[in-house]
Every structure is written in structure tokens, then in C-alpha cells.
Structure 1
């Protein structure tokens, strides 16, 4: 179980960080990476845990004439969420749990997974976790009905950048007492986090052996259930 003294010490959501083969195509909803900013502080007022069995990040990468895709697991996470209003949140992503879904394990999937986990890409032995921490939420919180974009610091391979993630939906299931956050597909540039292998941003003369810098990501985050009286506005 993680300790969450402040939002800045943990990490939320995405995430689907990728990786590997990326094609020459441009991804959807490209997001710019800027300098990190102050994060929102997680308080003890209605802290909801992320259900790691139902939450995940999807990734898709491209290279000339091909693509690969898979998922990344969420190892832990929390959000400050009360009466359908978001105040803070963070998730930790287990980088050594990356899966490849377009190839069978014995037909190249295990080899690709090992390459993505190596120093060429995410160096998971040195950086076993990535994290996303929410930023820019006003003191009065962000109503889920208004949550079209979530800003946050993404830390990957020891590099922290601020990005804006487009949100497709934020849904409260009254019967189950759970919230589900779903992002739209968005694209980050891996070069911003120093993921150099096969990148034209760092190397010349690659010919058609390059791997696109753009990584398409999307995520589904589901909270654990809370009591109905805690998630409905009080009269």
C-alpha cells in the first residue's frame, strides 16, 4: 500500500506509455510536453483508491510498414473525489508489466517485451515505475461534468513533463458506487522523456529503420466502490 502524504510524491494515471515500434504516422490528439508544475495535494477528505484489476493503459507504437500495441498495468493510485468533484489524484504505472497484444509470446511477443523493458527503451530495472500526478485543479475542485482535459506531470525514466490529456468520459455508477475515467486516444513524443532508440530526434542515417517518436496512449481508470451516501450530494 502506498503512502500519499502529498500529490507531488505519487503518481496518477495513462497512461499507455510505449514504445516500441512506431510507424511514420502521426498519432491522434498530439499533446505537448512542457516543464513540470506544482501538483495538487491529496488530502484525507474522501480518498478513493484505484481498482488495479480494472484499470489499465493502452499503448500503440509505429514503424514504417507496421505497428505494435499492448497494455500497461496500474500498480496503485488514489483520487480525492467528492460529490462528483475532483480535487487531486495520482497513479503509479508498472513499467515492467508491459504486455504486447499483437504478437504471441513465442512468435516475437516475448522478444519485443524484453526489448521495450531494456535500456534501449524504458530501462525498467532502473526505472520500474512511471507516474502521473494531477496539476492545475482549482481549490474549489473540478466538476466531472466539466472535465474535458486533465493536466498533470508525467514522470518517465526519471524525466518529468507536464501534459494535457483529453478525457472522453467520467462516469459514476450509482449501483456499484464506482467512478470510471476514460481518456480519448492521445499521443506523446517519447523523445521528450529521453527514450532514444531508433529516434530521428537523436540519430541520423536511420533510413527506414527508424521508430516513430509518437506513441498513442489511452487509459481506463476505475475507482473502488464507496458508500452511496458519500457519493451523492447531501441536501
Structure 2
């Protein structure tokens, strides 16, 4: 019985030490920027979307986790003006053809694995949930001081966003839209 108590105390001390060194840092959504680019045969559109909330988890200075919620209703087109169809495209991106923001107002990203590559650079595997569909994605993230940056590509068709996809529809010609869209993320915490 005494050995059991000794082992239990040792485990509690070890677990307590591990928990004490893990630190969750809240992302400053006002200073964070998420830019997107969607390409098509005849050009591209770009814009922004806002982070609703997010956290990065560190063990000492080493990144070990993260969770994020994106406000999909905040999606904006920045390369068009009102008289060029800005509102029309924003409405279409929020419609069921694309992100279906009425039914799915948020997207979520949860880190499942973080591997250090070199000083401040990590490869992250995460679960991304768009339109209620969760799929794994992998990307690199760089942490420098109280900022983190990443560039990633997401295949929208994996989340049932098939509008204008040449992978699913024939005879689209120059109206085809690339399956992948790009995100550039600048986090401040």
C-alpha cells in the first residue's frame, strides 16, 4: 500500500509539473489578419475573414497546440468595389453554393499534432471543420515573439463546396474555379 501511495504522489507531481509548464495564449482577434485568395481560369478574387476567437498552447517556448474559430459571416471581398459586384460575390460566398454561413456561421481549426522543424518553425496537423465537415490538413506555422504566421491551401471540394469546380462539372471552360483556395494568416497574441 505504501508503494502505491508513493507512485501516486510521484505521478501527481510529474503531472502537475507538466500542466504548470503548459501555457495557453489567447490570440488578439483585433490584431489578427486572415486573407484569402480564390483563383479561377480568368483571374482571382481576394479578401479577408475575421477570427472570432483563438488560442495557442505553448510548453515553455515550444508550440504544442491551438484552437481557432473563424466568423464565416465576416467574409469580405477586397479586390472589388460596390459597382463591380463586391456585394454580389460576398453574398454568393455566404450562400449554400459556397460556405453556407446561415447554417454554418463558423469554421473551426483544432491542432492535433505539432512537430518542431527548426527554430520557431513547426509543421501542424489539424482538424478543419467547414460546413459541418471535418477533415485533417497539414501546414507550416512560424512563431516569432508574440506573432505567428502561416500560409496554407485548402481543397474546398473536401468540404462539399463544389460550385464551379472542374473536378465535378464538365463544360465550365473559362468559368472553372480552382478547387484550392489560399489563406495567409498573421496571428498576434
Q: Could you tell me the TM-score, scaled by structure 2's length?
A: 0.82
Tell me how far 1:82 sits from its aligned partner: 4.0
Tell me how far 1:186 sits from its aligned partner: 2.9
Of 214, 228, 232, the residue aligned with 2:180 is 214
Greater strand content: 2
Change over 3 Å in CA distance of 1:43–1:201 after alignment to 2: farther
- Indicate if the aligned counterparts of 1:98 and 1:113 stay in contact, CA closer than 8 A: yes
Distance 1:146 1:80 in 2: 14
Tell me how far 1:151 sits from its aligned partner: 1.4
Distance 2:20 2:161 in 1: 34
Of 153, 166, 172, the residue aligned with 1:187 is 153
Of 21, 27, 31, the residue aligned with 1:50 is 27
Larger Rg: 2
Cα root mean square deviation, aligned: 2.2
Of 130, 143, 162, the residue aligned with 1:170 is 143
Query: Which residue of the partner structure matches residue 6 of structure 2?
Result: none
SS in 2 for 1:102: coil
Distance 1:97 1:144 in 2: 34
Query: Which residue of the partner structure matches residue 165 of structure 2?
Result: 199
SS in 1 for 2:114: coil
Of 123, 145, 148, the residue aligned with 2:122 is 148
- Deviations 1:72-110, CA, capped at 9 Å, x for gaps: 100001122242112221010111100111011343111
- Deviations 1:144-182, CA, capped at 9 Å, x for gaps: 825332211111111111111122x3111xxxxxx2111
- Indicate if the aligned counterparts of 2:117 and 2:123 stay in contact, CA closer than 8 A: no
Q: Which has the higher contact order (CA 8 A, sep 6+)?
A: 1
Change over 3 Å in CA distance of 1:143–1:43 after alignment to 2: farther
Change over 3 Å in CA distance of 1:67–1:143 after alignment to 2: closer
Count residues with an aligned counterpart.
171
SS in 2 for 1:122: coil
Which runs of no fewer than 5 residues in structure 1 stay unpaired? Answer: 1-41, 173-178, 224-235
